[in-house]
Structures are given as structure tokens and as C-alpha cells.
Amino acid sequence: MPPFVYRITKYDPADRDGHGHYIGVEKSTSDHGPVESAYLQAVAAFAAATGIDQLTIREPQVAGFAHFGLEPAVEGHGLGDLFPPDLSGFHDGAEISLSVGLELVRAMLRDNGAWCRLEAEDTFAVHVGWDQYVYISSDKPCESALARTRALGLFPERLQASPYEADFDEPGVQRPADEDFWGHLRWSIAMRQAVVLEEGYVDNASRWHRVTPNTLDTVRAELTPRAKLTVWPDLASDVQAVLATLPDEGLVELVWEDGNGAITSTIVDETESRALAVRVAGARAAAALPLDVDSRHPLCTAVMPDRDGVLRARWRTEPTPSDRDWAFLKTLRRGQIVTGTVTVIADFGVTFVDIGGFTAMINIPELSWRRINHPSDVVTVGQEISAEVLDVDMVRERVPLSLKALQADPMPQFIQQVGQVVTGVVTELVPFGAFVRIEDREDGLEGLVHSTELSEEPVADPGDVVQVGDPLVVKILDVDPSRRRITLSHLRALAHEGP
């Protein structure tokens, strides 16, 4: 923030007690007259001294289901003459003229129900606080503006910082609504996991969108820059059952889709249940969402970037498990070695591994270079292992691992044995030949002796020539590491050993 910070008030510093509390007669509400005008002229004077004629709206908000201002909130939040009824243009990052900025300051002084920070990056900022305190920051002392402020009957005081300075240093990284996010949403829709998108274009105000494969791109193009997005499961079609779940005490958010497909939400308490039932009559679907963050379970969240794809919003969404998975996946890369604990060995051959709280998986071909019958031949539940990351799928939020990538492939050593004769053990008979283990170990490598290489006579059934467990002399004809194939011949081995 700019280094020169001033608190501008109508309260004379002489009218404070020993604890700094104001004890004068000035009211803490706007007079809607000369004092309010003096505040606006003071802000204009600082802007002129700093050379500012454009401001940026940051972190806008409107009064939600509760309003704690000293003056009653007015219809349109005091913005009716500045922005359309849907508040288009009143969003984080919106550029406005100084004149519009001064009218926003007026609305905040009157506590009409809207609030935002007004800033010109690293140069100028205006924050309106409780009880008619205004905080102005600039990149220069602005002596002329200070003199003007005093002449207007206001009292400027130098501070170290504005108490309303943005502070968004929460741990973690905010998930942006980038191509990975939209790919994940499209996949979720295909899996019937997500169809409702909440667009928080200002704090305490949302627009709702039903998203389908056909409407996703259109909805995306119409979203407000820097809006907070929340992805929800589908609404329930049994509206009466949803209404029956409304609590007997406390607040709840009800979301419903009317007969025309428009989705609306409202905050209600137990006294409004009857009126709400009338209001949602004929609705197609609905959902009751608790207000407690820990009890709300959206699928994922994100924040919209600017039109150039850069995320400049400072505010954050409340991370979901999917968002935390996303943040972890951003730390991984293909080829990275990770350590984890085997948590589940599935009957269908997949091994699940916990790597830092995220569940990755190892398919059975990636467990070993050697032939195995079941993953339990290689790993056990609770075992700590190291593996290589094969891919990081940000869309489906999957990470396949390879255990064998950290092991030496035994097959290349057999390339140098091509042409040699060895004795192996028959391990399996198939219609077209016999598999023979040519490596002296229980899980040794195997090669195939085709039926035509078993005997000079035509072989209708390999079992007529050999049986499982028989020793068999074979010649190594070919080793193909890429296809994991070793080609053997019993006939040529016999010819090799002949007189």
C-alpha cells in the first residue's frame, strides 16, 4: 500500500478521553449534508494532489442477510444511480472514474449497504470505516490536500496503516478458474457429479447457473471477472422433502429452480418457512444449505481470472477436499519420486497409495517388471514405498504411479543371450504353445515356445509334448523389451545340441 496514510474524521482529537475514545457531540452517522460533502471534497483533494482520476473497485460487498449499519440499508444498496440493478460493473477489478468513486464513498458514508476498497495500485487508496472514519493512502505527503481537509473543518491524522488494508495471507494457494478447472467441471458433469454453479460476483450476493455440456462454454463466457465460483451437486427434485428438512431454529440458505429454469437462493429462518413454501410453489428442484462453513459441502471452488487469464483477485474461497487435492497436485510433476503408504489393494488389481494425504494408484503392470498374479505378491497394506509419478491428471484429479520404474528391468540382460541354449521349466500351456521360465527364480522371466517350435511333427495340443513343471531345453531366438516378449525354440535347441 502507499506509504502515506491519513485518517480523516469530523471528530476533533481534543474531544477524546485518556483511552482515545471520542466523547464529543458529533453523531456517528452521516448528516447527508455539508459534513458529508466535506469528506468528498477532501477525498477529491487528495486524488488531485496524487494525480488520480481513475480508481479500481476491490473486494466489493453488499449487506447480506444481516445488516449491522447505523443507518438502515436502502434498496439497491445505495448504488441504484451508479450501476444497473444486477450490479454489473460493481465487481473486483472494475475501473471507474473518480466521480463514480466519490459517489461510492457517499454511499459508504451513509452505510446504505454496499462497501468496497477504492484503490489506484501503489499510488492511492480510499477506505471508509465505521463511524465516519475515512482512511486515505497516497504515495506522496499531499500537503495541499491536508491543508484543504483542515479548511473543510475535518481532522487529518497520520497513521502507519489503514485498519481496512487488504490482508489475505491465508495459507495455501487459491484455485483459479483456468483450463484445468473447466476441464474438471466438464468431466464432473459427464460423471453426473456437478450441474449447479454459484457465481459470487460480490461478497454476500450470488448468481446461480445450471451447467450442462451444451451450456458450459456460454455460462463461462458470461461470468464476472474475479468472481468466486462454487460447484454444487444437483438440486433435489422432491421440493417438499427439502422444505421438510428446514431447521426449527436458526438460519439456512434455500436454493431452488423455478419452472422456467431460473435458480434463486435466499437466507431464511424458521419464521419464514410458510411464506417460503408459497414462494417456491411449482419449483422443479431445491436444496437447503446450512450457513456453517463446516456443514456446507460443495464439490469444488475457484476464482475467475481477469480476461487475460491472470488471477489478480485477492480474496479466497473456502477450500474443499477437491481444492486441497488440486493444490497438492500442483506440486507434483511427471517423473518425480514420491514416498507413500499402501492403503488398499483392490481385487481388480489396483493398489492405492497415500502420498501426503492424496490417494494415488498403481496399476498391476506398474508394480513389477516380472509376471505377478496379484498385487499382494509385491506389496502389503501399510507398507511404505517409493514410486515414480507417471502422470498428473488435473482434470480427473488422478496420479498414476510406477513402482517398477525404480527397479532395474531384468529383460535387457537377456538380449545378449540371444542364440544361447538354456534349460527352463514349463510354467503354462496355451493353445498355441508353452511358456517356459528361463530365469532361475520363482518370479523369473518367461518366454514362449510356439507349437511349431516344440516338435518336428505338427502339434495339435502342446500337452501332447510337454507338461507344466517339465524341464525343457530351449534356444533364445529373440528378446523384445518394448513388447515384453521372449521368443524360444525347443526344436532349434535340439538341433544346436545335435551331432
Beta strand pairing status for 485-489 and 446-450?
Answer: parallel
Name the nearest CA neighbour of 121 among 57, 42, 40, 41: 57
pLDDT per position as a tens digit, 111-169: 988 999 999 988 999 999 989 999 999 999 999 999 999 999 999 999 999 999 988 76
Q: Please determine, for residue 473, whether its predicted confidence score (pLDDT) is greater than 70.
A: yes
Spatial distance between the Cα atoms of 365 and 381, rounded to a whole number of angstroms: 18
Q: Which amino acid is at 396?
A: R
Task: Give the model's confidence band at 65: pLDDT under 50 very low, under 70 low, under 90 confident, else very high.
Answer: low
Assign 478 a pLDDT band (cuts: 50, 70, 90). very high
Q: Mind listing the pLDDT tens digit for each residue in 252-284?
A: 899 999 989 999 998 888 888 778 888 888 899
- 3-state SS class at 120: strand
Take residue 332 and report the three cell numbers written for it: 507434483
Q: For residue 312, which of 321, 320, 303 has the smallest C-alpha distance?
A: 303
- CA pair distance 124, 225, nearest whole angstrom: 22
Q: Of 6-10, 16-20, 288-292, give the range with the top mean pLDDT.
A: 6-10
Of 14-23, 181-190, 191-200, highest mean pLDDT: 181-190
Among 458, 461, 457, residue whose Cα is nearest residue 433? 461
Vertex 153: Cα angle to 104 and 6 (nearest 5): 60
User: What CA–CA distance (Å, rounded) separates 118 from 127?
Assistant: 7
Q: Which stretch of 77-86, 311-320, 471-480 has the lowest confidence by average pLDDT?
A: 77-86
Residue 271 has what pLDDT? 83
Buried b / exposed e over 89-99, threshold 16 CB at 10 Å, is ebbbbbebebe
> What is the DSSP annotation of 142-205?
-HHHHHHHHHTT-EEEEESS-TTS-----SS-PPB-SHHHHHHHHHHHHTTS--EEEEEEEBTE
| SS3 assignment, position 25 | coil
Q: pLDDT tens for residues 212-257?
A: 999 999 999 999 999 999 999 999 999 999 988 888 888 889 999 9
Place of cell 480523516: 8
pTM (predicted TM-score): 0.85
Beta carbons of 375 and 387 less than 8 angstroms apart: no
